[in-house]
Amino acid sequence: MPERPLIKRHYYKIPLNEKFYIFSKRATILVYYLIRFKLRKIIPSEFKKETDVYQKYFPLHELNYVKRKLGIEKDDAMAAVKLLTYFHTLTGVIGQIIEMTPERAVRIESYCPAYNKFSKEFCSEVMSYPVFCSICRVLNPRITHTHETYLSGGDDTCKLVFELEK
């Protein structure tokens, strides 16, 4: 399958049926995992903290599916930023990739629908960190990520960096 093109390094065009599939799966499986996390004191669970839910959900249920849908074959920093761009396109985050090589990829985001609803700490620990860790772990354990600036922390942009360690 040929790789799906990025539109001006900003976003992916995602068909409605694909959006529906992802969101319906999230609405069932992710909610199931979150309920298991909340009930962990009553029913034994492998989840110790809320981020464990996302660490399990994304690799098992979304990342490989999306990687196939996009036609991504390589496991480098470019692949990581493309996956991130896809997920952020789904959720209405606006930004663009300003650097994209196999060794390093950088995305700057100027708008996030949740930036004024969450603290920088919540965004870092619960929302972005587990997703970025999952992307790196699924693609290639040598990929590292940093979230250098945060809209939710008062910065003008979010700056997201993926690097392939040598």
Mean pLDDT along residues 86-101: 94
**Could you tell me the residue range of the domain that residue 155 belongs to?**
16-164
Reported as a single tens digit per residue, the pLDDT across 99-148 is: 999 999 999 999 998 888 888 888 888 778 778 888 898 899 999 999 99
Q: Is residue 130 part of a domain?
A: yes
Q: Is residue 6 part of a domain?
A: no
According to DSSP, the residues that pair with 94 across neighbouring strands are 111
Q: What's the predicted TM-score (pTM) here?
A: 0.88
Mean pLDDT along residues 5-19: 94
Reported as a single tens digit per residue, the pLDDT across 39-56 is: 888 888 888 877 788 778
Q: Is residue 3 part of a domain?
A: no
**64 close to 138: Cβ distance less than 8 angstroms:** yes
CATH (domain of 77): 3.30.1380
Q: pLDDT category, 59, cuts 50, 70, 90?
A: confident
Q: Is residue 10 part of a domain?
A: no
H helix or E strand, kind and range, residue 138: helix 129-139
Q: What is the pLDDT of residue 163?
A: 97
Q: Is residue 7 part of a domain?
A: no
Enter the tokens of residue 144: 């590292």
Q: Is residue 35 part of a domain?
A: yes
Average model confidence (pLDDT) for the chain? 90
Q: pLDDT category, 75, cuts 50, 70, 90?
A: very high
AA identity, residue 59? P
Q: Is residue 44 part of a domain?
A: yes
**Cβ atoms within 10 Å of 27's Cβ, excluding its own:** 10
Distance of alpha carbon 53 from alpha carbon 87, whole angstroms: 17
Q: How many domains is the chain built from? A: 1
Nearest to 58 by CA among 127, 107, 113, 11: 127
Q: Is residue 2 part of a domain?
A: no
